[in-house]
Amino acid sequence: MPRLFGFEDMQFRRVREPEVPGARLAAALRLQGLSVAALTREVNAAGYRTTRGGPWHPASMATYLNNPAIAGLVEVDGELVPSGGPALIPPSDFLAIRALRPSNNPDIAPKSEPREYVVPPRLGFCGLCGAALTTSPPGSASAAYRCRKLPDNPTACGKVRVKAELLETYLAEIALAELAKPAVKAVLIESRDAMLAEAEQLREDVTAAGTRQRELGKQYAAGGLSMEAFRAADQELKRSIRDAKRQASFRERVRHVPIAGVPDLVRWWEHAPLKSKQGILVLLFEKVALYPAVAKGSRTVDANRVGLTWRKWGEAASGTAVAAPDGATSD
């Protein structure tokens, strides 16, 4: 895999200085209103070449200008956040350039709904390296779940991929079969209430951490803390707030699970809201591990490819062992 133009390493932490002007030239020309094809010609004329040594093409230039790493950003669960790495161009310029993409312009882009993925973030993992599964970028020809190297996850092996429809169908069959058991509904209602209570506590922790942040600011302003101590404590609180928000959001998905009152779960699933489908998976599973196919191009997804860690329900949550559901696999 070639490195990204402007960087020495695949983690986007070391800048290749001779290439920085080329990145800034491309960004500036795009912000001036030049088309990608026109600015590509200008960048080539200025003597800049791709990391493979060849001339730029409009497709590769468009992909490059849409990579958040050039602005010191990374996309996490659809949200752009600072990566901690250097920025070749200001983040504000990157956002302005991304807004110019035809796919982001409602006056140009076809009005099509983005593909919805049933397996929510932080539930699916690579069975080989343990990295979180990602989904195909918007506009990809094939919707898929895969293990992919990212700036914030450089150890991902990149060896696992499956078509989204195949994995989602497999998980739906297992989940709906479990939900159809009358004896399971009662313990799932209890589990759902417990997870929502955990989410509420996490939200309270976020509020408390925010209060602590403000107190730290006052202490620093009054001279009671050094700059180093303030920064260290503030960064730690920011991390804890971010993690607590993510964990709360993950648990709150179960709020949309209709455990009772659905006579035909299979028919309901076909038209169910995404939040409800995701909530069911979060309520049933702690982890979905995906392994490589036995043969390249295989369209089979079964227990040999998917390892399920079932969430503990009822007595299991208090430490009493409970057998896994019939036919279930467990990591």
From first CA to last CA, the distance across the chain in angstroms is 32
Q: Residue 306's beta-bridge partner residues?
A: 290
Tens-binned pLDDT, residue by residue, of the chain (331 aa): 578 999 998 888 999 999 999 999 999 999 999 999 999 999 999 999 999 899 999 999 999 999 999 999 988 766 788 888 899 999 999 999 998 876 554 444 444 456 789 998 889 999 999 999 988 876 667 889 999 877 666 789 989 999 999 999 999 999 888 887 877 777 777 777 888 888 899 999 989 988 988 888 888 888 888 888 888 888 898 888 888 888 888 788 777 777 665 666 777 788 788 888 888 898 889 999 999 987 776 677 888 899 999 988 654 333 322 233 443 444 4
Q: In the chain, how long is the greatest CA-to-CA distance? A: 71
Q: What is the pLDDT of residue 92?
A: 92
Q: What is the pLDDT of residue 77?
A: 64
Q: What is the pLDDT of residue 165?
A: 92
Secondary structure of the chain as H, E, C letters: CCCCCCECCCCCCCECHHHHHHHHHHHHHHHCCCCHHHHHHHHHHCCCCCCCCCCCCHHHHHHHHCCHHHHCEEEECCEEEECCCCCCCCHHHHHHHHHCCHHHCCCCCCCCCCCCCCCCCCCEEECCCCCECEECCCCCCCCEEECCCECCECCCCCCCEEEHHHHHHHHHHHHHHHHCCHHHHHHHHHHHHHHHHHHHHHHHHHHHHHHHHHHHHHHHHCCCCCHHHHHHHHHHHHHHHHHHHHHHHHHHHHHHCCCCCCCCHHHHHHHCCHHHHHHHHHHHEEEEEECCCCCCCCCCCCCCCEEEEECCCHHHHHCCCCCCCCCCCCC
Domains for the chain: give ranges and CATH numbers.
Answer: 17-104 (3.90.1750.20)
Using the structure block, give the residue that is written with the tokens 């982001």.
Answer: 104
C-alpha distances out from residue 246 to 4, 134, 242, 308, Å: 29, 16, 6, 22
Q: What is the pTM of this model?
A: 0.53
Q: What is the pLDDT of residue 110?
A: 44
Give the C-alpha separation, 290 to 304, whole Å.
9
Read off φ and ψ for residue 74, nearest 5 degrees.
Answer: -145, 145
Q: What is the pLDDT of residue 171?
A: 93
